[in-house]
Amino acid sequence: MPFRIKAMVGDINRLRVILVILFEEGFGFLIERVRLAYLLPFKLRLLRMFRRCKPVCKLNEKVVSLPERLCRVFERLGPTYVKFGQVLSLRSDIIPLEYINQLENLQTNANTFAYEKVKEIILEEFDKDIGQVYKTFSEKPFAAASLAQVHAAKLADGTDVAVKVQRPDIRGIIENDIHILFFLAALVEKYVKEIMYIQPVQLVRDFSEWTMRELDFSIEAANGERFRQNFLDDQRFYFPQIHWDYSTKRVLTMELIKGIKLSDASEIVKSGGDPYVLAINGLDLGLRQFFIHGFFQADPHPGNFLVLKDNVLCLHDFGMVGYLDRHMRDTLAAVFMSFVEKNAELTSQKMLHLAPNFSLQAGEEFAQRAMPILSTWFYSKKLEKSFAKMFYHLVIEGAKSGLYFPRNLVLCSRALLIMEGTGLKLCPEFKLYDEVAPLFENVIKEKFNPKLVLKDMEMGIIEYLNILQQLPENTLKLIEKIEKGQIDVKIDKSEIMAIKDEMERVNNIRLISIIIITFLVSAAIILRLEQQTLIFGFSVAKIELVVSFVLSVWLALIIRKK
């Protein structure tokens, strides 16, 4: 059996170390449940058998809870498990709140590694000595985390930069630990049925994909550049410049930004900053990421932001990001709109549209849970109105109902909650519910800007035109195959050509219908949000309505055509 396990996990000695630490921290019951007690050292097995060994469940004579002990397990097991704990803290939809609260406190500052190792990594990545790559390079890092540490340096032209250097051999360590995590997760799914709902194997799979991306610093660099381009014209936000010639998969060099930590409200005020403005701008930054770009910082805690002169917010960490596709952004916008309009039934329905492949029973149970919560929240005069908490609460209630929302939506809900918490720390009178409506309206106005709508419509037209252009050729190929006997069907050529003509007519109808709907929707939005939009002195909404009428007449003629 040990040989078989070794083939599965790669390093049976590392597995034994993990089991010993789990046992010492009071998780012996879990080791027994997954049938791995025989891998414990003989002494521990003997003591366990005679019940002479009590797991370490106290710290400074204080009884330690199970969530606290789990955090201690992760810290003792090293960077892979610290990172795993941090990722678990993002999954409040399936991880109990008492565990989330403890996992969020996992140590982010790690031990530093020697400067000699830094020089070796620089040499391996650039094939040059560190002195040939950088003009100056600080031997002592100013920050260290589970995957890397950061040094201050100067480029040849004197530019101040921050250099993020990956820990030596960290990829091999993490890959080996992930194999063990997969093995343990599979055993938990097999033998511990009561926690099947958290989907242990899928959790490890998500963690593996996420961490492997984080280990490639070129991906983080691309994330930073994408944020920078998305907000290039917005002077309220700043993103450090990436120095691509000095960046690789294991070394990331970016502009060194000096500012005040967003968490230091008193220092912000002393420097002339306005906490309220920063809170509003931070919320607006998040909403634009969620609804316009579909690309957001998944862990926007205050430590990832600096405050610059004139209340400029600087985001300087791009490792953990989330993605929302167009469908999810549009549906999420509908959820937010129903929140603003206090429509409980519509909110519940739109939330269901965000969850793929749910059962009828799960949908009904979620509706039963959501409706009283929403009604109380909308109409209670004593209940504190927190838009973020309500959305977050609905996502968690969905999981309790067996309704699993996509991971990126969970990350989005948590990011919104963190943004509200940060805003409250900066400015205690900050109320997300009161501020979100006007900000959300501005974001939607930008989302449905006529130029953007026209651009999307052009892309749709191009797609349908390609289909139409290929249709005659594909039809002729089909006829040739029938003539050569490659397709055994008995249909007259004239029938095929009639089908071709009808398909072209139907596609024309679809294409024109899409254009008409697009114009009508755009006109309705403009009339609701911005009635004074003009082109050459004419209202854009009225122009779109006229064009829609003309196209409707054309559509009617095509439909009548036989």
Inter-residue contact 165 to 148 (CB < 8 Å):
yes
Greater confidence, 45 or 183? 183
Q: What kind and span of H or E run contains 151?
A: strand 148-154
| Mean pLDDT of all residues in 481-505 | 59
Percent of the chain predicted with pLDDT > 70: 72
CA gap 294, 330 in Å, rounded: 10
The count of other CB atoms within 10 Å of the CB of residue 62 is: 9
- Tokens 């280990």 appear where? 215
Dihedral sign (CA 44, 49, 50, 51): positive
Q: CA 316 to CA 322: how far, in whole Å? A: 16
For 398-413, how does the pLDDT look when each residue is reduced to its tens digit (9 = 90+)? 877 878 788 888 888 8
Cα–chain center distance at 348: 22
What band does 391 get if pLDDT is binned at 50, 70 and 90?
Answer: confident
pLDDT tier at 462, thresholds 50, 70, 90: low
Q: Is a pLDDT exceeding 80 seen at residue 3?
A: no
What 3-state DSSP class applies to 354? coil
Band (225; pLDDT cuts 50, 70, 90): very high
Q: Of 65, 61, 69, which is closest to residue 22 (Cα–Cα)?
A: 69
Q: State how far the Cα of 138 lies from the Cα of 152, in Å rounded to an integer.
A: 6
Q: Tell me the C-alpha distance between 559 and 239, whole Å.
A: 53
Among 57-61, 163-167, 179-183, where is mean pLDDT lowest?
57-61
d(CA 468, CA 348): 39
* Mean pLDDT estimate for the chain: 79
What per-residue confidence (pLDDT) applies to 454? Answer: 54
Q: Based on C-alpha coordinates, what's the Rg of the chain?
A: 29
* Winning range, highest mean pLDDT, from 132-146, 330-344, 440-454, 518-532: 132-146
pLDDT of 116 above 80: yes
Question: What mean pLDDT do residues 249-272 have?
Answer: 91
Q: Which is higher by pLDDT, 446 or 288? A: 288
Instruction: Evaluate if residue 207 carries a pLDDT over 70.
Output: yes
* 143 or 562, higher pLDDT: 143
Does 456 have pLDDT greater than 80? Answer: no
* 92-104 core/surface letters (b: 16 or more CB in 10 A; e: else): bbbbeeebbebbb
Report d(CA 72, CA 27) in Å as an integer: 12
Residue 249 is predicted with a pLDDT of: 94
Query: In Å, what is the CA distance from 525 to each residue of 196, 294, 375, 455?
Result: 45, 21, 28, 16
pLDDT the model gives residue 53: 46
pLDDT higher than threshold 80 for residue 457 = no
Task: Count other C-beta atoms under 10 Å from residue 42's C-beta.
Answer: 7
- Mean pLDDT over 102-126 rounds to 86
**Other CB atoms within 10 A of residue 9 CB:** 19
C-alpha 284/C-alpha 272 separation (Å) is 21
Amino acid (1-letter code) at residue 198: I
User: What are 119-128's pLDDT values in tens digits?
Assistant: 999 999 999 9
Distance CA 43, CA 38 (A): 11
What CA–CA distance (Å, rounded) separates 293 from 228?
12
Each residue of 288-306: pLDDT tens digit? 898 888 899 988 888 889 9
* pTM, two decimal places: 0.72
> How far is the C-alpha of 465 from the C-alpha of 468, rounded, in Å?
5
Judge whether residue 257 has pLDDT over 90: yes
Residue extents of the structural domains in the chain: 109-256, 322-447, 450-560
What count of other Cβ atoms lies within 10 Å of the Cβ of residue 40?
20
Count of beta carbons in the 10 Å neighbourhood of residue 268:
20
Strand-pair partners of 315: 305
pLDDT at 180 over 70: yes
